[in-house]
């Protein structure tokens, strides 16, 4: 397995809705293994397939109990509210207090094709909501208040301008330097 480049804010793949995985096979298992390695190396607690440029509906996560994979996830119900500081591997180095549902009912499949039916609260529920948002083409920036979003976009624009000035040909970014 190997780590994969994580797509960041501004990449159009992050705004597109993913398609369902039709067959859970060795290719999907290998993809999930590379995604887990990428998530751990980042480091992060979740990673959706489109964050590495694969438009399939699956994500990996680790809430501290070992990595897990969810294929074709669907959130059936949510309840309550929970405010928590949230960041994203596709918006590196930034985080905001965001209100999401406190309880989540998620269905999907594991890599063996067995149905998952999970009731999650707080941190695990937040991970599920964040990753399903990615799979639906919704980036963290869209969950911010209007003022937060304006500030975030200002910071991200400045980063792009700095990148363009410091690395005009893009070789440093391509080489991971």
> Does residue 129 share a domain with residue 168?
no
In a domain, 5, yes or no: no
> Does residue 44 share a domain with residue 118?
yes
What's the domain count of the chain?
Answer: 2
Count of other CB atoms within 10 angstroms of residue 14: 22
Q: Output the pLDDT for position 160.
A: 74
> Does residue 81 share a domain with residue 44?
yes
Structure tokens at 11: 């990449």
Structure tokens at 170: 């893009």
Angle ∠(130,86,146) on CA atoms, nearest 5: 90
Q: Output the pLDDT for position 162.
A: 63
> Does residue 113 share a domain with residue 161?
no
In a domain, 6, yes or no: no
In a domain, 2, yes or no: no
Q: Output the pLDDT for position 165.
A: 47
What residues are labeled active site?
A: 131
In a domain, 165, yes or no: yes
Q: Buried b / exposed e across 39-64, counting CB within 10 Å, b at 16+?
A: beeeebbbbbbbbbebebbbbbbbbe
By residue count, the chain amounts to 177
CATH number at residue 20: 3.90.45.10
User: Nearest Cα to 78, choosing from 141, 109, 124?
Assistant: 124
Q: What is the DSSP string of 108-173?
A: EE-TTSPEEEEEEEHHHHHHHHHHHHHHTT--GGGGS-HHHHHHHHHHHHHHHHHHHHH-TT-HHH
Q: Output the pLDDT for position 54.
A: 97
Q: Output the pLDDT for position 139.
A: 94
Q: Output the pLDDT for position 2.
A: 81
Q: Output the pLDDT for position 107.
A: 98
> Does residue 171 share a domain with residue 110?
no
> Does residue 129 share a domain with residue 96?
yes
> Does residue 153 share a domain with residue 135?
no
> Does residue 154 share a domain with residue 139?
no
> Does residue 59 share a domain with residue 102?
yes
Count of other CB atoms within 10 angstroms of residue 139: 20
Contact 86, 126 (CB under 8 A): yes
> Does residue 37 share a domain with residue 75?
yes
Half-sphere exposure of residue 138, counting CA atoms within 13 Å on the CB side? 9
C-alpha to C-alpha distance for 174 and 151, rounded to whole angstroms: 27
In a domain, 57, yes or no: yes
> Does residue 24 share a domain with residue 46?
yes
> Does residue 167 share a domain with residue 137?
no
Domain that holds residue 164: 145-177
Render pLDDT for 152-172 as a digit per residue (tens, 0 to 9): 999 988 887 765 444 444 444
The low-confidence residues of the chain, meaning pLDDT below 70, are 1, 162-177
């Amino acid at each position: 397995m190997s780590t994969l480049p994580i797509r960041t804010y501004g990449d159009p793949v992050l705004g597109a809705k993913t398609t369902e995985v039709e067959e859970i096979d060795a290719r999907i298992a290998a993809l999930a293994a590379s995604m887990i390695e990428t998530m751990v190396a980042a480091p992060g607690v979740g990673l959706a397939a489109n964050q590495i440029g694969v438009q399939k509906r699956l994500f990996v996560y680790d809430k501290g109990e070992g990595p897990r994979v969810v294929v074709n996830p669907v959130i059936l119900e949510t309840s309550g509210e929970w405010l928590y500081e949230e960041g994203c591997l596709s918006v590196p180095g930034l985080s905001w207090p965001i209100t999401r549902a406190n309880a989540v009912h998620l269905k999907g499949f594991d890599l063996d094709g067995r149905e998952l039916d999970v009731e999650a609260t707080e941190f695990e529920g937040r991970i599920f909501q964040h990753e399903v948002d990615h799979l639906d083409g919704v980036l963290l920036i869209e969950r911010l208040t209007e003022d937060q979003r304006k500030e975030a976009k200002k910071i991200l624009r400045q980063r792009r301008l700095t990148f363009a000035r410091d690395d005009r040909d893009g070789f440093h970014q391509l080489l991971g330097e």
